[in-house]
Amino acid sequence: QVQLVESGGGLVQAGDSLRLSCTASGRTFSNNAMGWFRQAPGKERDFVASITWNGGGKYYADFVKGRFTISKDSAKNTVYLQMNSLSPEDTAAYYCAARRPLLTAQVWGASEWDYWGQGTQVTVSS
């Protein structure tokens, strides 16, 4: 059974940093694009960032460019999201996602992603 498990969320103040982790189990994700999405209460699940299977390509939503960095460690089957300069607008549940093997990472709709974690809450106070 494939599982994606996020960790690293929490309550921080505006301007602080957090690093989210997502570890895959049940199979290797070395050939899979990985991504992060977020969802605030009453809103749709929005694309945040994605990374190609080999880590060579990284894509970001405009609202996080320059603040967030996605990376992956294939040996650990883990993808990270480093979040800097957090603001209250970043408050949301953050979800890790993966696509089926060898598919592009350049897709922004949640419905295009095949595997999901349970989410980790990030709350930023002003």
In this predicted structure, the answer to whether residue 84 has a pLDDT above a threshold of 90 is: yes
What is the pLDDT of the chain when averaged over all its residues? 94
Q: What pLDDT, on the 0 to 100 scale, is given for residue 27?
A: 79
| Cα angle, residue 26 at apex, residues 21 and 30 outer, rounded to 5° | 65
DSSP state, residue 20: E
* CB neighbour class for 117 (10 Å; exposed up to 12, middle 13-18, buried from 19): buried
Side chain identity at residue 101, one-letter code: P
Side chain identity at residue 80, one-letter code: Y
Mean pLDDT of all residues in 99-126: 95
- Where does residue 70 fall: left (phi above 0), alpha (psi -120 to 50 degrees), or beta otherwise? beta
Per-residue pLDDT of 107-120, as tens digits, reads 999 999 999 999 99
- Where does residue 55 fall: left (phi above 0), alpha (psi -120 to 50 degrees), or beta otherwise? left
In this predicted structure, the answer to whether residue 55 has a pLDDT above a threshold of 90 is: no
64 token code pair: 């996080």
Mean pLDDT of all residues in 93-119: 95
Residue found by looking up tokens 């505006």 in the block = 14
Length of the chain: 126
In this predicted structure, the answer to whether residue 1 has a pLDDT above a threshold of 80 is: no
In angstroms, the first-to-last Cα distance of the chain is 40
Mean pLDDT of all residues in 93-112: 94
In this predicted structure, the answer to whether residue 18 has a pLDDT above a threshold of 80 is: yes
Q: What pLDDT, on the 0 to 100 scale, is given for residue 102?
A: 87
